[in-house]
Amino acid sequence: MWKLIFDAESFCTAAEIAELDGKTPKTLTGAGLWVGVLSRGECLLNDSERPGQSGDILLGASPLTLTPCGDCHLVAVRLTGQCPDACLLSLGAARWADGASCPGAAELLAQMHSAPADPVAYGVLCAVAKADETSRPLPPLVAEAMTAIRQNYMALYGVEELSEQLGVTKSHLVRVFKQEIGVPPGKYLTNIRIEAVKSLLLSDEYNLETIAGLTGFSGANYLCRVFKREVGISPAAWRTAAAPRRTIPKLPPRSEEMFV
């Protein structure tokens, strides 16, 4: 039997399965990318004003507060590893995506619910790769704002500067952005920065002060406060928890190699 020379858990694994069934709110926590399918009813996500509808796909990092608008059902999996971390970096704010853009995701999540397996977990990640903003056309202002945030999060001072760049008032940008995305642009900017921080924490090369400078935070202390508020643990604790996923197993001694 062949033995892989890499650890599947380093790339994508199912760390946890969660289910919401009924009318009771539920909060999803833990490091990684949550992917879920809403198979019945409507459900609010965090402070969004627009609920997800049956068939929608849940995408985002914790904490995620799910508030049913009546009877609903959702199954979600928390994916961890280098691939989910990379997806989170480009995802930004947690949101509902149109399930029609990734029809295979629901079936794979059902498989995960009955029998979690790492190959299926990676399949789920691949299935939701197309569940992006293009599945639901965004107003030009919102699309421009999201692009500006993703491209310049490390140097962007805040929403006021962003609104000036886009030639609109801050209040108008906040209203339109939140209406379409579910969170205000300031929160979206913070989420983008936090995911960039997580990406840099995966390497021991950078200390917190350097990471703060590379991701738009004014200093290590402020970074730690915001990170703990958004993620629930400190950057140091998150780095420690993520460390096992970065370990690459050693190759066997040459005397144990098999040649075919």
Place domain 11-132 in its CATH homologous superfamily: Regulatory protein AraC (2.60.120.280)
Q: Does pLDDT of 260 surpass 90?
A: no
In SS3 terms, 107-167 reads as HHHHHHHHCCCHHHHHHHHHHHHHCCHHHCCCCHHHHHHHHHHHHHCCCCCCHHHHHHHHC
Q: Does pLDDT of 131 surpass 90?
A: no
Q: How confident is the model at residue 133 (pLDDT cuts 50, 70, 90)?
A: very low
State residue 2's pLDDT score: 37
* Domain-wise residue ranges, the chain: 11-132, 140-245
Q: Give the pLDDT confidence of 43-100 residue by residue, as tens digits.
A: 999 877 778 888 888 998 888 999 999 999 999 999 888 788 878 776 777 888 877 7
Report the mean per-residue pLDDT for the chain: 81
Average pLDDT over residues 145-154: 88
State residue 164's pLDDT score: 94
CB 38 within 8 Å of CB 96: yes
Which fold is adopted by the domain 140-245?
Answer: Arc Repressor Mutant, subunit A (1.10.10)
pTM: 0.57
* Cα(182)–Cα(249) distance, integer angstroms: 42
Q: Does pLDDT of 259 surpass 50?
A: no
